[in-house]
Amino acid sequence: MTETTSSMPLADPGTMGPPQDHARLRAHCPITRVQLPIGVSAWYVTRYEDVRALLGDPRFTRPDITIFPHPTGERPRDVGLTTMMEMPEPAHAKLRRAIAEPFGTRAVQARTDRIRRIADRVLDDFTAANRGRGDLVLGFVEPFPLAVMCDVVGIPYEDRDRFLAPADAALGALSTLEESRRVTGFLRAYVLEVAERKRREPGQDVLTDLVRRWDAGELSREDVVDFGLSMLIAGYRTVTMFLANALVVLLTEPDRLADLRRDRGVMDTAVDELLRYLPVMNSNIVLLAEQDVEVCGQLVRAGEIVLPVIASANRDERAFPGADRLDLRRRPNPHVVFGRGPHSCVGANLARAELAVGLSALLDRFPHLALAVDPTDLSWEDDLPVKSPRRLPVTWRERGTG
């Protein structure tokens, strides 16, 4: 059964979601037509098994949504907003091989102490500027993942006032297509500017290594640009959203926060459960059918857009018993937050580490952390499918202050 809705389902105003329509769609209409703000329609897919299959299906590609409408077949990389998710093969596979080591499990584990030092430094600045009350979004949730990304990749943290607003505009391209097109040229030029700095002043970072490979002919100019765009657009912002929403949930469910504080051994499973439970990945995956494909019994024509809704898939009772319940010890937990197949998220290990380290640093620093406002007073980006709180006012007492 299919139906047509006027727009993508959104969470109720003043909440993180997920949208209430998801449960109904999974049960009765697992593929439905929606109208996107950019003026095209798309197929909206909500069941776990279907979303999981789509994410690994080579008959679908990730289009550059700044250049609609899309033909199928070969598309240029040197004019639009191509990240690693949209890179064609074999360029994508070659670039993934080049960055496999620094984003691999061992390298990220070896970097954990450095990530913790960054977290502690950001918290030092936060507590020095505030006395027992402050905004965790501005003071920690945003600067911490950004500082980690800059440290790993080699993008200067001190340039953040130049690239943050354009990168956010590009990330919100589904809602602000014209703005995304406007900032694409700036972001591409900025990545090339940073690459040129790496030639003059090499560092111990991923971009320095990629520039060396570019100069040696192993990678192309566009490979380096696409990697840089990936890091600017998705290399930290999704972590800030997950971290902000995780704190909202934990601070409004003090028993779970206390459980996590008592038993840090559960942190790894807790992080994966928060990744599953939090509806951050709500329709920001866009796929283009390269040929006619049947999905959920519906024929999807070549050139049509499909949205596999990860936030809905991760709440599917068929895959996750008690899916609407947060279980910090859930095993197994086959969530699909990081995608699947060749284009799965290359930063998955780093994202997990940032969430685990960030939460641990907050628990260590603030044994009595609490929301400073009623949860219903939190402000959300209610017109966007992906939501996190704009501000997170909290109170605390640090260790040793009584």
Report whether pLDDT(72) > 60: no
Q: Are 361 and 123 in contact (CB under 8 A)?
A: yes
Q: Tell whether 1 is covered by a domain.
A: no
For residue 154, is it within any domain?
yes
Q: CB neighbours (10 Å) of residue 318?
A: 11
Asked if residue 226 belongs to a domain, the reply is yes
| pLDDT tops 70 at residue 365 | yes
pLDDT at 318 over 90: yes
In a domain, 195, yes or no: yes
Beta bridge partners of 294: 299
pLDDT band, very low/low/confident/very high, at 36 (cuts 50, 70, 90): confident
What is the rounded CA–CA span in Å between residue 207 and residue 223? Answer: 11
Determine which of 77-86, 130-139, 248-257, 346-355 has the lowest per-residue pLDDT on average: 77-86
Please name which of 287, 271, 276 lies closest in space to residue 53, comparing C-alpha atoms: 287
pLDDT confidence of residue 385: 77
For range 8-25, the mean pLDDT:
91
Q: What is residue 31's predicted lDDT score, i.e. its pLDDT? A: 97
Q: How many CB atoms lie within 10 A of CB 300?
A: 23
Distance CA 392, CA 3 (A): 38
* Domain limits for position 12: 6-395
pLDDT category at 399 given cuts 50, 70, 90 is low
CB atoms under 10 Å from CB of 122, counted, come to 22
**Whether pLDDT at 362 is above 90:** yes
pLDDT at 200 exceeding the cut of 60:
yes
Residue 401 lies in a domain: no
The three state secondary structure string of 120-164 is: HHHHHHHHHHCCCEEEHHHHHHCHHHHHHHHHHHCCCHHHHHHHH
Q: With contact defined as beta carbons under 8 Å apart, do 141 and 240 qualify?
A: yes
Q: What is the pLDDT of residue 40?
A: 83
Q: What percent of the chain has pLDDT over 90?
A: 75
Can you point out the beta strands (E) in 177-267?
Answer: none
Is the confidence at residue 343, as pLDDT, over 80? yes
d(CA 388, CA 172): 13
List 43's β-bridge partners, or say none.
33, 306
Tokens representing 331 are: 């095993």
pLDDT digits (tens, 9 = 90+) for 96-134: 999 999 999 999 999 999 999 999 999 999 999 998 999
pLDDT digits (tens, 9 = 90+) for 142-181: 999 999 999 999 999 999 999 998 888 777 654 455 666 6
Among 17, 92, 84, 91, smallest CA distance to 382 is for: 17
- Position 74 confidence tier, pLDDT thresholds 50, 70, 90: low
Per-residue pLDDT averaged across 301-307, rounded? Answer: 94
Instruction: Tally the domains of the chain.
Output: 1
Q: How big is the chain, counted in residues?
A: 402
In a domain, 41, yes or no: yes
- What secondary structure letter does DSSP report for 4? B
Model confidence at 234, pLDDT cuts 50, 70, 90, reads confident
Of the candidates 394, 344, 398, which has an alpha carbon nearest to the alpha carbon of residue 57?
Answer: 344
CB distance 40 to 68 below 8 Å: yes
How many Å apart are CA 34 and CA 119, to the nearest integer? 41
Residue 268 lies in a domain: yes
- Radius of gyration (Cα) for the chain, nearest Å? 21
Structure tokens at 140: 């920690």
Confidence check: pLDDT of 65 > 70: no
Q: What is the CATH number of the domain that holds 157?
A: 1.10.630.10
Tell me if 72 is assigned to some domain.
yes
pLDDT for the residue 402: 45
Distances (CA, A) of 370 to 121, 136, 218, 373: 21, 11, 51, 9
Least trusted range by pLDDT, from 33-47, 146-160, 231-245:
33-47
Longest Cα separation, the chain: 66
The residue type found at 91 is A
The answer to which of 1-5, 209-213, 229-233, 301-305 has the lowest mean pLDDT is 1-5
What count of other Cβ atoms lies within 10 Å of the Cβ of residue 89? Answer: 11
The letter for the amino acid at 94 is: K
CA distance 286 to 63: 7
Amino acid 166: pLDDT: 87
How many of the other CB atoms lie within 10 Å of CB of 130? 15
Q: Is 71 exposed, middle or buried (0-12, 13-18, 19+ CB in 10 A)?
A: exposed
Question: What is the token pair recorded at 222?
Answer: 């566009």
CA angle 167, 170, 172 (to 5 degrees): 115
- Indicate the range of 209-213, 280-284, 301-305 predicted with least confidence: 280-284
**Which pTM value belongs to this model?**
0.93
